[in-house]
Amino acid sequence: MAQQQARERQHDNILTSSIFPLNFLPGRLVPVKRIPAGAHVWLVLWKAARAVEARALGSIEGTGLCASDFGVLEALWHKGPLPVNALGKKLLLTSGSITTAVDRLARRGLVRRNSHPEDRRVRLVEITSRGRQLIEPAFARHEADLEKVTSVLTQSERVTLVTLLRKLGTAAEEDGTDGMSTRDGMAEAS
């Protein structure tokens, strides 16, 4: 057993001294023969995002909430009352989608709209005690599920991943070819 571990360490040392970047496979590093093209990076990112999203959505099943409603309650629980438009930007929802979500949650007694104390044009959305009773255990379950998913990464890998994803997202927003900027999206999602 000790000899096998020594061989694996030696193998890993050879790989890390290689001129090739490393590719991660379950429990092992292997050299990549060429730098992945942008399209390949996108494909890997998309597949990973879809797999993690499926786990995230699975963790909120049984709450009676869709993803946008869960997001509204979670944001209000963590951030406190927010104007409808700020809530929509934070959750990357259009004005129509956030209005529909808030209406749905208000009908269920999970949120309420209040007038802004300083600006009568602004409506604040606030979580109710009933909404808080629903989101607290649901978010704890959701957080634990996502912690389990990301447990394959070391703390250092998590920091690196988040840093690289922010860098990529910011660059993509700033370099949009259609003239539209979604700059607020990365800032809000960060």
Q: Give the CA dihedral 137, 145, 100, 127, nearest 10 degrees.
A: 30
Q: What is the pLDDT of residues 91-129, one digit of tens each?
A: 999 999 999 999 999 999 999 999 888 888 889 999 999
Q: Quick check: pTM over 0.75?
A: no
**Domain count for the chain:** 2
The Cβ of residue 99 has, within 10 Å, a number of other Cβ atoms equal to 15
142: domain CATH number is 1.10.10.10
What does the pLDDT read at residue 8? Answer: 52
Residue 123 in domain = yes
Cα–Cα dist 28/155, whole Å: 17
Structure confidence at residue 27 as a pLDDT band (50, 70, 90) = low
Residue 115 in domain = yes
Strands (DSSP E) along the chain, which ranges? 22-25, 28-31, 82-83, 111-115, 123-127
Cα–Cα dist 112/81, whole Å: 10
Domain that holds residue 141: 36-152
* Same-domain check for residues 1 and 76: no
State both tokens at 116: 């802004």
